[in-house]
């Protein structure tokens, strides 16, 4: 019989996301139930920046998205989300994540 390992994660604690001015590196988000809610602002920000980058590729005459805050180094940035929900209806932010996934 295989022995099961158990991991216990307690929270919330810490100083929030405390993100640097330039996002680069590998990010892993782990959430269960409505535990994705604290990440929605970050995911929406990444969606806006990815949309802005995509528009820059087509050189439009005007940008639909203008953000004057942190930047994302997309060449050196990866984001992985591991989440579990009882039902699809419990997946708050599904639209944001679906749109973000479609841009990748």
Q: Is residue 28 domain-resident?
A: yes
User: Domain tally for the chain?
Assistant: 1
Pick the most confident of 45-54, 70-79, 94-103: 94-103
Q: Is residue 27 domain-resident?
A: yes
pLDDT the model gives residue 59: 61
pLDDT the model gives residue 14: 62
CB 90 within 8 A of CB 34: yes
CB 77 within 8 A of CB 25: yes
pLDDT the model gives residue 15: 62
Q: Which residues of 46-82 are buried (b: 16+ CB within 10 A; e: fewer)?
A: bbbbbbbeeeeeeeeeeeeeeeeeeebeeeebebebe
Q: Is residue 87 domain-resident?
A: yes
CA distance 31 to 36: 5
pTM (2 decimals)? 0.58
Q: Would you state the structure tokens that stand for residue 34, as one six-digit string? A: 């409505």
Q: Is residue 67 domain-resident?
A: no
Backbone angles phi, psi at 99, to 5 degrees: -65, -40
More confident residue, 15 or 55: 55
20-73 pLDDT per residue, tens: 777 788 888 888 877 787 787 788 878 877 877 777 666 655 555 455 556 777
Q: Is residue 88 domain-resident?
A: yes
Find the domain containing 34 and state its range: 21-38+79-104
């Amino acid at each position: 019989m295989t022995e099961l390992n158990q991991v216990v994660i307690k929270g919330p604690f810490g100083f929030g996301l405390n993100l640097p001015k330039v996002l680069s590196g590998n990010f892993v988000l782990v959430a269960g139930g409505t535990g994705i809610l604290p990440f929605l602002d970050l995911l929406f920000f990444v969606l806006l920046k990815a949309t802005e980058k995509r528009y820059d590729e087509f050189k439009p005459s005007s940008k639909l998205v203008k953000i004057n805050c942190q930047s994302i180094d997309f060449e050196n940035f990866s984001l992985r989300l591991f989440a579990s929900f009882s039902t699809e209806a419990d997946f708050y932010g599904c639209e944001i994540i679906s749109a973000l996934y479609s841009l990748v």
